[in-house]
Amino acid sequence: MSTKFGRLVPLVFSKRGFSTSTSVQKGGGGSEEGLKSLNLCSAINQALHIALDSDPRSYVFGEDVSFGGVFRCTTGLADQFGKKRVFNTPLCEQGIVGFGIGLAAMGNRAIAEIQFADYIFPAFDQIVNEAAKFRYRSGNQFNCGGLTVRAPYGAVGHGGHYHSQSPEAFFCHVPGIKVVIPRSPRQAKGLLLSCIRDPNPVVFFEPKWLYRLAVEEVPEDDYMLPLSEAEVIRQGSDVTLVGWGAQLAIMEQACLDAEKEGISCELIDLKTLIPWDKETVESSVNKTGRLLVSHEAPITGGFGAEISASIVERCFSRVCSASYCYFHHIVTPYN
């Protein structure tokens, strides 16, 4: 497995601007000096430490976060920053996000944790009808741009249908919010800090399958990675593969397998789903003439269909001349 994704166990299947002294870093993000081997969970924890330490207006809250949360991503935060800035909430997702909207609207950075992405739906109205529309409906007089909603998503091989969902497509339909999903520890830290400091509300989905499995060298300093900028992480000439989050590790293995058959794959990590980087994908497909989109969410209404439709529209003559336009998904029991 490539170091781009860290060390993974073998796969079991073949108008307010926030002040900050940190500029957005391109590429891998952060200095190559002061690297530390971290798993994705620890990288998230380190990003939250930096966010709280660098801005006294930052708050972290959600169910059980004061003692670390079920995945331990918030371990040590309450001890260091106090329970007025890192605190538990009632078991009420609508209330968690609603409180975060109010907190952000008052000029703070509200970092709300939804314990599992499967339980984000009670907060759907708050995210879609309040957070996303706050700035527009007030004519930019008010906004809740300081809101970041964190939620672990995806399958882990167990947990059933209430702890394995990938609901990103629901939120990609909504103008006014950003949707971001990292693939690795280094990406998770840099992207999360960018989300927290972005002047727009963001839903940040964390691949819980990789919390402990993905390990790589992560800069210990404060760095940010650009949003809405896809990354070509593997150059190729025969087919373009596009994905996000935990699926990238599976897709890279597919690239390696295809290489043995003489097929050259170009692999792109979208990273930000809304607004997504159409230009990078378009450029790649114009080169390869073939597109395969892979994700683990339900196929019906999935975001992969949006990518496929958009690229066919932009690259119609190029894709049709190659006679291929692929779409792939990981089968779920409820498509």
φ, ψ dihedrals at 24, nearest 5°: -70, 130
Domains observed in the chain = 35-219 (3.40.50.970), 231-331 (3.40.50.920)
**306 is annotated as an active-site residue:** no
Which position among 163, 168, 216, 282 bears the catalytic label? 163
Establish whether 163 is a catalytic residue.
yes
Residue 300 CB neighbour total at 10 angstroms: 11
pLDDT score for 31? 58
Identified catalytic residue from 63, 93, 130, 266 = 93
Cα 295 from chain centroid? 13
CA separation for the pair 100, 192 (Å, rounded): 17
In terms of phi and psi (left: phi > 0; alpha: psi -120 to 50; beta: otherwise), the region of 57 is alpha
Joined together, the tokens standing for residue 315 give: 């690259």
The per-residue pLDDT string of the chain (335 residues; one tens digit each, 9 = 90 and over) reads 444 444 333 333 223 333 333 344 544 455 566 999 999 999 999 999 999 999 999 999 999 999 999 999 999 999 999 999 999 999 999 999 999 999 999 999 999 999 999 999 999 999 999 999 999 999 999 999 999 999 999 988 777 888 999 999 999 999 999 999 999 999 999 999 999 999 999 999 999 999 999 999 999 999 999 999 999 999 999 999 999 999 999 999 999 999 999 999 999 999 999 999 999 999 999 999 999 999 999 889 999 999 999 999 999 887 643 333 334 443 333 34
CA–CA dist 233, 219 (Å, integer): 19
